[in-house]
Structure 1
Amino acid sequence: MAEALATAPAPRPAAAGAPLLQIRDLNAWYGESHVLHGMTLDVREGEVVTLLGRNGAGKTTTMKSIIGIMGKRTGSIVFGGTETIRMSSRLIARLGIGYVPEERGIFSSLSVIENLMLPPQIKPGGLSVQQIYDLFPNLKERSGSQGTKLSGGEQQMLAIGRILRTGAKFLLLDEPTEGLAPVIIQQIGATISRLKKEGFTIILVEQNFRFAQTVADRHYVVEQGRVIDMIPNEDMDASIDKLHRYLGV
């Protein structure tokens, strides 16, 4: 494994004006089930971009395809000038991409600090444990607690903090506010905004477009495994009726 990680190509600086992430005609399958049907989108460095859509539209599958944990993918995913469609997830992570899944992946047998220290650092510049505690003070108070004895909001903070320690600067956050209390949602939103100011690039899967509107630059609407619209954040208020039709809310 160490040898495989060491051979990950370094991402090249994107050409002037070129997106950091370029996805073209992406198709993906779960077994025989064809889920993505030509996904095409761009994400520029320093942006927060959301994927909006109904359940089953292909949003999470897009995330898993970017990080390389889908069984079969075709098309093109270029990150920092490197084509990743045939790379393993371990090598993709070494490029500086971090994935926080919807289920969070907290280890019940490990304490908060042990969960934080579990992933290896993949790039220099990751946040220290103290910086993570500064970002999420709740975690410092619960550092000795078992991971799954935390509240849902604290588990979400732990899942995000764990990725920030690795040095990843491109974050994939899948439904980070699902099931959380409004006060915790506000804290997660403030964290995303702070990370954006510090130069992180984020793709956010979100059902709550009102929350997405508070943190994102642009919004891709996904339906039946493809992008059907892109809405700049400044146009969201004027697009509410259209979003209601897209999302069925």
Structure 2
Amino acid sequence: MSEALRTTHLKAWYGESQALHGMSFSVHGGEVVTLIGRNGAGKTTTLRALMGLIANRTGSIRLGADEIVAARPHQIARKGMALCPEERGIFASLNVEENLLLPPQVRPGGMSVPDILKLFPNLKERLKSQGTKLSGGEQQMLALARILRTGARLLLLDEPTEGLAPVIIAQIGDTIRTLKALGFTILLVEQNVAFAAGLADRHYVVELGRVVDEIPAAAFADRLPSLKSYLGV
């Protein structure tokens, strides 16, 4: 498959503090790729920089054939990339149905509400429930559902299993596999390396704002014990 995303020497700053020190990696169309590393390594910052949420950035971000390092978030969204943040970004005062109807379809091909409810049947029973009444797992499903409504085909998922029960983590994993089978491309930031191991085609290890290693899926099992020790998990 052709490259869906490539970053080269990506640097980013929060004010005067440099957070990324030359991130370079690629994601091919239809792949699931993870960024793994310790807390504070720069994984979430990378996703925010990719989406234009950190304005002070240099280097190169190519989304397909387009250079987007200078683009603003709404321009990047229109090119088919979307972020599901760790804080989930749902509207707590709105019910599930209203949350699903609210996201703009920025590109053709966004999932319909009926399609969303087939993918997340738990939400069908909660359509009239407010965001504040949902469990953590239901909130995560709703957050994923909202970005699928937009028509984005490259999904940036930031710690989707954080704080969730094992049974819900398994459901999130099944959803990611389904999305991959449907042709979506996924860049996943994940601290749960065992979860990531069962999903991704390739893994990039991030340290101090740069990629320090790339591990293909076939080699990940052999590297898992040392990675867990390195990550402190």
Q: TM-score, normalised by structure 1?
A: 0.91
Superposed counterparts of 1:23-172, under 5 Å: 23-172=7-156
Q: Does 1:237 align with 2:215?
A: no
Give 1:245 shift. Answer: 4.3
Quote the Cα distance in structure 1 between the aligned partners of 2:33 and 2:12. Answer: 21
Cα RMSD, aligned residues only: 1.0
1:194 aligns with: 178
Deviation, 1:238, is 1.1
Q: Tell me the residue number matched to 1:185.
A: 169
Per the alignment, in what secondary structure is the counterpart of residue 20 of structure 1?
strand
Give the superposition deviation at 1:148. Answer: 1.8
Matching residue within 184, 190, 210 for 1:226 = 210
Give the whole-Å Cα distance in 1 for the aligned partners of 2:14 and 2:56. 7
Q: What's the offset of the Cα at 1:248?
A: 2.7
Any idea what SS the aligned residue of 1:219 has?
strand
Identity of aligned residues (%): 63
Any conservation in 1 of the 2:193–2:228 contact (CA below 8 Å)?
no
Preserved CA contact (<8 Å) 2:2 2:29: no
Is the 1:106–1:148 Cα contact (8 Å) retained in structure 2? no
Q: What TM-score results when the alignment is normalised by the length of structure 2? A: 0.98
Matched residues in 2 for 1:248 and 1:59: separation? 16
Question: Does the Cα contact within 8 Å between 1:96 and 1:123 map onto a contact in 2?
Answer: yes
Counterpart contact for 1:119–1:166, Cα < 8 Å: yes
Structure 1 CA distance for aligned equivalents of residues 157 and 95 of structure 2: 22
Q: Which amino acid aligns with 1:239?
A: R
Q: Give 2:179's aligned amino acid.
A: L
Q: Contact 1:31/1:71 (CA < 8 Å) preserved in 2? A: no
Q: Where do 5+ consecutive residues of structure 1 fail to align? A: 1-16
Alpha-carbon distance in 2 for matches of 1:102, 1:139: 19
